[in-house]
A and B are shown apart, each in its own frame.
Chain A
Amino acid sequence: MKHSLSILALVAAQAAALATPALAAPEGEFVVAVHQEPQDLAAQGAYKEINAPGLRNVLETLIATDPATGAYMPVLATGWERVDDRTVRVTLREGVTFHDGTEMTAEAVAASVSFVWSPDNSFTIQEYAGPGVMSAKATGPLEIEVSSTEADPMLEFRLTLTGISSARQIAETPAQHFSHPIGTGPYVFDEWVRGQYWTASANPDWWGLSADDAYGAGAPLFETLRFVFRAEGSARNAMVRTGEAHLATNPSPEDCEAAAGNDGYSCVTGPSDAYIYGRLDQSLHAHPALEDMRVRKAIFHALDYEGIADLIGMASVPRGQLGTPDMLGFVETLEQYAYDPDMSRQLLDEARADGVDVDGLTVEVVGRNTTPRVGSVTEVIGFFLEDVGVNAKINVQLPDVFNPRVRIKGYAEEAPRAMMQVHVKQNASGEFGTNLLGNYACPDIDDPSGASRSSVHCNPEFDAKLAEALTLSGDARDAALQELVAFLYEQHPIIPLALLDKGYLIRDTHDYAFGVDHRFLAVNVTPKP
C-alpha cells in the first residue's frame, strides 16, 4: 500500500511538472524612477519604501504581510509557531542560497536577524523594536528560534520587517553590507552609482522558480532592474511619459489625474499604511470647551470627509478609526463620523446653553508643510468649523516648528491652547497596539521621549486596559484592541480624516498588481500582451 502511494505521488509530481508552463527567460530592462536615493542598502532598510525603494527585490524577509487581509504569508520561512510569549520557532525554506553562493542555513539566518535587531547597531528599524531586545539562534539545520528578552506578542510582525542578508558578508566585510546588499531575492544587486541609480539582475537561482508558493509572478521577468533617482516629481512623471522609465513612484494626485486621460501611461493605486488625521488638544492645558464631549462631537460632525478625501486625492474615507480592515484591532462595525452640520450646530447650542465657552474657543488648525495638500486641507477644515460656528485659524508650519509643538514637552511649554494637528502617520505594524499607545495613552512630561510623547489624550482607565492588551497575542489581542478602538470612537479624541493610497505611474506596456508587503516588487509587474 505504502509502495503504491509512493508511485502515485511520483506520477502526480511528474504530471504537475509537465503541466507547469515553461518559464520565459528574463529579458530587457525595467526602469523605475524613484523619489530618492537610498541612504544605504543595508538589510535593516528592506521594509522601507520611502528610504530604500526597490531594496525588497534583492532582500527578502522570513514572512510577509498580505496587505489585503493582514495575514502573514511565507517567504523564506515555510512555517512558524509560538514557543512561548517571548519566542517564535521558525522553519526555514530548504534549498535557498544567498546571492554570494552561500547556503541559507539556520546559523546564517539567525546571525542576520540578530545583526539587524542588535541595539548596538542603532539601526532605524529600532523604532519598531519591541519591549525587549530581539535576537535569534539556530536550533536545527533549518530551524531557528527568534526571541525577545521581554514578552513580545508582535515578534512575527517584526520578522516581516527584517531583511535577511548574507551572514558571510556581515562577518567578513561588514562595511560592504551598507552598499552591496546580498540577499536571496529574485534580483541580484549589481551596482550602485551614487547620485544616479542602482541596478540588479534576474536571479537564475531564485527559490521562487521552483516553489509553488512563491509570491508575485513567481519568476523574475526582466533581465535587469534599474532604479533611477529623481527627486523632482514632475521629472519622474516626464520619465514615464517619454518612456525613459517604465514606472515612477510617489506620483502626485495631479499626476494620476492627468494619467487617466492619457494613452501612453496610467496610474495604479493600492492601499498604503498611511493615514491623515486631526488631533485635538484634550489633556494638559487644553481649552476647557474641548473637554466637553458635545463640542468635540460637533467638530467631528462638521467636516465633510468625502470632500476632504477628494481634495487630498489618492485617498479614501476612513471608517472612524486610524487604520484599515487588515489591521489587528480593526472594528468592522464602525463607520466614519457623518457630515452633519445641523447636528453640529445643535450640539454647540446645547453646550452654550449649559455655559460652555464655545464662543471663546478658537481652534488653531495646524498642518505640517510636508503633509499632502496641507494648505488646502487646513483651509477647508477651518471653513467647515466656521460654518457651524466654531472659530478657527489656520496655520501651516515647517517640521522644525511643528514637531516640537506636537510633542508633550513642547505642548507643556505653550500657553493654554486649542490646537488641531493635521498630520500624516504611517502604521507599518499591521495592528492598533503601537498606534493606540502613540496617539491615545497619557503622555508623561517626565519622559519626553516616551512612546506616548505625541499624545494629547489622557484617560488612566484606558491606559490600564491598553497596557493589558499589549501583553496579549492572537485573537485575544485582537479582541482587546477592538474594545479599545470602539471605546475611543465614542470619546471623539482624534479625527480620522483620510486613508492615503499608494500609487505608481506605469507605462501602458505593463501591468502592476499590489502583492505582498506595501513595497514595490518587480515580480508583481507583468508585460501586457
Chain B
Amino acid sequence: MPYLLRRFLQSLLLLFVLVSFVFVIGRIIGDPALIMLGTSASETALDQLRENLGLNQPIWQQYLVFLGDLMQGDFGVSFRYGFSMMPSDALRSEGTPVLPIVLERLPATFLLAGTSLVFAFSLAVVLGCLAAMHPRSWIDNLVNVISLASVSVVQFWLGLILIIVFSVQLGLLPTGGFGSWQHLVLPALTLAARPLGRISQVVRSAMLDELSKPYISAARAKGVPEWRVVFVHALKNASIPIVTITGDELSQLLTGAMLVETVFAWPGVGLLLIDSLGRRDLPMVQAGICVVAALVILVNLAVDFAYTVLNPRIQMDNRGGRA
C-alpha cells in the first residue's frame, strides 16, 4: 500500500478514535445537562435539556447518533451561544448550529498561527544556521540563550509584558483586538516565542551534522560561496528534521493559541473554546476540539507528504515507518 495512502488511513482511524474519545469524555465527566445548566437548574429544565440532547437514550444509541451526525458535519446546536438558557419550544429550532461558528473563527486562528510560524521559522532558520556556522562562539551562545529563553517563557506572562512595553509605555501598538496588521503584531510575537526557540535548536543541531559532512568540504574546496554552501546545500539536506519540528510546532500553535487569543482578545477558535468552557457549552466545546484535532492530524499528514517531496525514497518504503 502506498505510504501516503497508509498514512491517510491511519489519520482517519486516529480521527475516529479521537472523536469517540471526545464523546466518551463528554459523558463520563458527569451529566452533560447538569454541566450545561449548573447545579441550580430545576429538574424540569434538566429533563428538557436531556430530552433535547437525546441524553435519555441508551449510551450506544447516543454514540451512533453522534457519529451519524458527525458524518453529516452536524455537531449539534448550542443553546448557550446567543441564548440565555433553554429557549421556548417556539424558539428551540432556532438553536445555533455550532460548526459554522467554529469555522467562522478559524481564519483568525490561521492568520495568527500562520504569521507566528512564518516569523518564528524565518528567524529560527537564520539563528540556527548562524549558530551552526560559528559553533561555541559568542554567536552560538547568544542563539542558545535566545532559544532557551523563548522555549521557557510563559506565553501568558510574555503577552502582558509586551502589552506593557509596546502599548502602555511606548504607545506603538494596540493592546489587543482585531482588524489591522498592528493588532496582529503582539499576539503573533507572543505565540512565536516557543516555536522560535525549538526550531532554532533543531536547525542548529541538524546544520552542525550537515556542515561536518564531506560533501560540504568538497563544495567549499570548489570555491562555492559560503552562503550557498550553508543555505542551499546544507540546509536542504537538513530539512527533514526541520520540517518535522515545524509541523509539530504548527500543531502546537493551533492548540496553544487559546491563552494568547484570550490575552489579546483575538477572536479565534481558542477564544471561542475558552468562552464556551466558561459557558459550559458542551456542543461548542466538542466541535471546537474535533475541528482543531482534525487540523492537527491534517498538518501531520501534510508533513508526511512533505517528507516524500524532500526525500522520494520514503515513498518507496512500504514496510512501515518513515525512512
Interface string of B244-275 (1 = CB under 8 A from A): 00000000000000000011110110011011
User: Which B residues are in CB contact (< 8 Å) with A121?
Assistant: 85-88, 91
User: Which B residues are in CB contact (< 8 Å) with A123?
Assistant: 84-85
Q: In the bound complex, how far is the Cα of B259 from the Cα of A232, in angstroms? A: 10
Q: Please determine whether A241 and B168 come into contact, CB atoms closer than 8 angstroms.
A: yes
User: Which B residues are in CB contact (< 8 Å) with A234?
Assistant: 160, 163
Q: Please determine whether B88 and A449 come into contact, CB atoms closer than 8 angstroms.
A: no
Interface string of A213-250 (1 = CB under 8 A from B): 00000000000000011111011001101101000000
User: Which B residues are in CB contact (< 8 Å) with A229?
Assistant: 265
Nearest A residue to B279 via CB reads: A39
Within 8 A of B (CB), among A17-48: 36-37, 39-40, 42, 44-45
Q: Please determine whether B177 and A122 come into contact, CB atoms closer than 8 angstroms.
A: no
Flag the segment in B14-22, B36-44, B65-73, B129-137 that touches A: B36-44
State whether the Cβ of B218 lies closer than 8 Å to any Cβ in chain A: no
A242 and B262 contact, Cβ closer than 8 Å, known pairs A123-B85, A449-B40: no
Q: In the bound complex, how far is the Cα of B160 from the Cα of A174, in angstroms? A: 41
Within 8 A of A (CB), among B62-100: 80-91, 94
State whether the Cβ of A397 lies closer than 8 Å to any Cβ in chain B: no
User: Which A residues are in CB contact (< 8 Å) with B171?
Assistant: 242
Select which of B85, B94, B104 is within 8 A of A124 by beta carbon: B85
User: Which B residues are in CB contact (< 8 Å) with A174?
Assistant: 90-91, 94
Least CB distance, A483 to chain B, in whole angstroms: 29
User: Which B residues are in CB contact (< 8 Å) with A36?
Assistant: 275, 278
User: Which B residues are in CB contact (< 8 Å) with A178?
Assistant: 82-84, 87
State whether the Cβ of B197 lies closer than 8 Å to any Cβ in chain A: no
State whether the Cβ of B283 lies closer than 8 Å to any Cβ in chain A: no
State whether the Cβ of B224 lies closer than 8 Å to any Cβ in chain A: no
A120 and B262 contact, Cβ closer than 8 Å, known pairs A234-B160, A242-B171, A403-B39: no
Q: Please determine whether A228 and B177 come into contact, CB atoms closer than 8 angstroms.
A: yes
Q: Please determine whether B84 and A42 come into contact, CB atoms closer than 8 angstroms.
A: yes
Q: In the bound complex, how far is the Cα of B289 from the Cα of A60, in angstroms? A: 39
State whether the Cβ of A127 lies closer than 8 Å to any Cβ in chain B: yes
A242 and B175 contact, Cβ closer than 8 Å, known pairs A40-B83, A42-B84, A118-B88: yes
User: Which A residues are in CB contact (< 8 Å) with B175?
Assistant: 235, 238-239, 242, 244
User: Which B residues are in CB contact (< 8 Å) with A242?
Assistant: 167-168, 171, 174-175
Least CB distance, B25 to chain A, in whole angstroms: 15
Interface string of A279-315 (1 = CB under 8 A from B): 0000000000000000000000000000000000000
State whether the Cβ of B178 lies closer than 8 Å to any Cβ in chain A: yes
Q: Please determine whether A195 and B271 come into contact, CB atoms closer than 8 angstroms.
A: yes
Within 8 A of A (CB), among B137-156: none
User: Which A residues are in CB contact (< 8 Å) with B274?
Assistant: 231
Within 8 A of B (CB), among A107-161: 118, 120-125, 127
State whether the Cβ of B288 lies closer than 8 Å to any Cβ in chain A: no
Select which of B90, B163, B267 is within 8 A of A195 by beta carbon: B267
State whether the Cβ of B105 lies closer than 8 Å to any Cβ in chain A: yes
Q: Please determine whether A230 and B176 come into contact, CB atoms closer than 8 angstroms.
A: yes
Nearest A residue to B108 via CB reads: A195
Q: Please determine whether A194 and B267 come into contact, CB atoms closer than 8 angstroms.
A: yes
Q: Please determine whether A235 and B82 come into contact, CB atoms closer than 8 angstroms.
A: no
Q: In the bound complex, how far is the Cα of B275 from the Cα of A37, in angstroms? A: 8
A39 and B176 contact, Cβ closer than 8 Å, known pairs A449-B40, A449-B43: no
User: Which A residues are in CB contact (< 8 Å) with B82?
Assistant: 39-40, 178-179
Q: Please determine whether B178 and A196 come into contact, CB atoms closer than 8 angstroms.
A: yes
A238 and B177 contact, Cβ closer than 8 Å, known pairs A40-B84, A124-B84: no
Within 8 A of B (CB), among A394-421: 403-404, 407
User: Which B residues are in CB contact (< 8 Å) with A195?
Assistant: 105, 108, 178, 265, 267-268, 271-272, 275
User: Which B residues are in CB contact (< 8 Å) with A338?
Assistant: none
Q: Please determine whether A244 and B174 come into contact, CB atoms closer than 8 angstroms.
A: yes
Interface string of A426-461 (1 = CB under 8 A from B): 000000000000000000000001000000000000
Q: In the bound complex, how far is the Cα of B204 from the Cα of A267, in angstroms? A: 51
Q: Please determine whether A238 and B265 come into contact, CB atoms closer than 8 angstroms.
A: no
Nearest A residue to B45 via CB reads: A122
State whether the Cβ of A10 lies closer than 8 Å to any Cβ in chain B: no
Within 8 A of A (CB), among B162-189: 163-164, 167-168, 171, 174-178
A238 and B168 contact, Cβ closer than 8 Å, known pairs A122-B86, A244-B174: yes
Select which of B90, B167, B272, B279 is within 8 A of A238 by beta carbon: B167
State whether the Cβ of A175 lies closer than 8 Å to any Cβ in chain B: yes
State whether the Cβ of B311 lies closer than 8 Å to any Cβ in chain A: no
Q: In the bound complex, how far is the Cα of B177 from the Cα of A175, in angstroms? A: 28
Q: In the bound complex, how far is the Cα of B186 from the Cα of A238, in angstroms? A: 14
Q: In the bound complex, how far is the Cα of B102 from the Cα of A85, in angstroms? A: 50
State whether the Cβ of B48 lies closer than 8 Å to any Cβ in chain A: yes
Q: In the bound complex, how far is the Cα of B91 from the Cα of A238, in angstroms? A: 40
Nearest A residue to B262 via CB reads: A231
Least CB distance, A261 to chain B, in whole angstroms: 15
Select which of B48, B101, B178, B271 is within 8 A of A122 by beta carbon: B48
User: Which A residues are in CB contact (< 8 Å) with B278?
Assistant: 36
Q: In the bound complex, how far is the Cα of B84 from the Cα of A179, in angstroms? A: 11
User: Which B residues are in CB contact (< 8 Å) with A45?
Assistant: 84
Least CB distance, A447 to chain B, in whole angstroms: 11
Nearest B residue to A125 via CB reads: B84
Within 8 A of B (CB), among A239-281: 239, 241-242, 244
Q: In the bound complex, how far is the Cα of B171 from the Cα of A242, in angstroms? A: 7
User: Which B residues are in CB contact (< 8 Å) with A196?
Assistant: 177-178, 265, 267
User: Which B residues are in CB contact (< 8 Å) with A44?
Assistant: 84
Least CB distance, A36 to chain B, in whole angstroms: 8
Select which of B81, B91, B263, B267 is within 8 A of A235 by beta carbon: B263
Least CB distance, A278 to chain B, in whole angstroms: 22
Least CB distance, A461 to chain B, in whole angstroms: 28
User: Which A residues are in CB contact (< 8 Å) with B83?
Assistant: 39-40, 42, 178
Select which of A118, A230, A403 is within 8 A of B265 by beta carbon: A230
Nearest B residue to A122 via CB reads: B86
Least CB distance, B319 to chain A, in whole angstroms: 48
Q: In the bound complex, how far is the Cα of B92 from the Cα of A122, in angstroms? A: 12
15 pairs, A vs B, C-beta closer than 8 Å = A118-B88, A122-B86, A127-B40, A174-B90, A174-B94, A194-B267, A195-B108, A195-B265, A230-B265, A231-B275, A232-B262, A235-B263, A239-B175, A242-B175, A449-B40
Seed contacts A231-B262, A235-B175; 5 additional CB < 8 Å A-B pairs: A40-B82, A120-B89, A178-B87, A195-B275, A196-B267
- Closest 5 A-B residue pairs measured CB to CB? A195-B267, A175-B94, A122-B86, A238-B175, A120-B88
